[in-house]
């Protein structure tokens, strides 16, 4: 996106050409130069200008802080509403699981997602999503790199059950604060 800004500055004719692109990638490294709040504002402005009828790919790389959870929910909602096929949410932080970004429930109901890659996101416990159907029926690739606790494994098992077309699965689980990872009996057939 930083290159888009540079290109837009070069020519008024090209200034809004990027708004029709079906791939949006926002790299938070740029936030280090301008400040995270300005970067978040930049993302909002870009989404307002985006005219693509269908979104193929949406990438957000950001050093996460809980104060940006509301903004991330709006960005993800935008991508889901535009039938995103490939969603990458690559967050980074250096704190405990309590400060992980909690994914909004509507992400689990997307029928357009084919590829989902999450870093440092809290996978909802199945206890928290009773009555909310998981419908990632189109998902072919799922990559989770997250902190886990004993409540996350039922959610991951449910997520896998809802993804019958899954071809690629990568789960990198790191226990928070030195805790061990344990899976309940009900999830044992997903994790041999």
Query: What integer pLDDT is reported at residue 175 of this predicted model?
Result: 56
Domain spans of the chain?
A: 17-187
What pLDDT tens digit does each residue of the chain (192 aa) get? 556 555 555 566 666 777 778 888 998 877 666 788 889 998 999 899 888 878 899 999 988 888 899 999 999 999 999 999 999 998 886 554 456 788 888 887 788 999 999 888 876 644 355 555 666 788 899 888 876 655 566 667 777 777 888 899 888 876 554 344 444 444 444 443
E strands in the chain: 23-27, 57-63, 86-92, 101-102, 115-119, 121-122, 141-147, 168-174
Q: How far apart are the first and last CA of the chain?
A: 42
- Indicate the pairing of strand 86-92 with strand 115-119: parallel
Query: What integer pLDDT is reported at residue 160 of this predicted model?
Result: 75
Query: What integer pLDDT is reported at residue 65 of this predicted model?
Result: 84
Query: What integer pLDDT is reported at residue 108 of this predicted model?
Result: 79
Query: What integer pLDDT is reported at residue 98 of this predicted model?
Result: 55
Query: What integer pLDDT is reported at residue 178 of this predicted model?
Result: 37
* CA atoms of 18 and 51, how far apart (whole Å): 9
User: Cβ–Cβ contacts within 10 Å for residue 44, how many?
Assistant: 14
Query: What integer pLDDT is reported at residue 184 of this predicted model?
Result: 42
What are the φ and ψ backbone dihedral angles of 93, each rounded to 5 degrees? -160, 165
* CA atoms of 192 and 189, how far apart (whole Å): 6
Ramachandran assignment for 143, one of left (phi > 0), alpha (psi -120 to 50 degrees), beta (any other) = beta
* CA atoms of 125 and 153, how far apart (whole Å): 8
């Amino acid at each position: 996106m930083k290159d888009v800004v540079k290109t837009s500055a070069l020519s008024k004719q090209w200034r809004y050409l990027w708004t029709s692109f079906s791939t949006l990638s926002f790299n938070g490294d740029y936030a280090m130069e301008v400040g995270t709040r300005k970067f978040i504002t930049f993302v909002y402005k870009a989404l307002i200008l985006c005219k693509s009828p269908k979104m193929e790919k949406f990438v957000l790389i950001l050093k996460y802080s809980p104060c940006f959870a509301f903004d991330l929910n709006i960005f993800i909602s935008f991508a889901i509403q535009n039938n995103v096929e490939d969603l990458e949410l690559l967050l980074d932080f250096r704190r405990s699981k309590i400060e992980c970004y909690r994914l909004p429930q509507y992400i689990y109901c997307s029928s357009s997602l084919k590829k989902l890659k999450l870093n440092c996101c809290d996978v909802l416990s199945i206890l928290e999503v009773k009555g909310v159907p998981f419908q990632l029926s189109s998902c072919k690739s799922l990559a989770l790199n997250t902190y886990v606790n004993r409540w996350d494994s039922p959610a991951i098992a449910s997520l896998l059950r809802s993804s019958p077309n899954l071809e690629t699965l990568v789960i990198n689980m790191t226990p928070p604060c030195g805790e061990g990872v344990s899976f309940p009996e009900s999830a044992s057939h997903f994790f041999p």
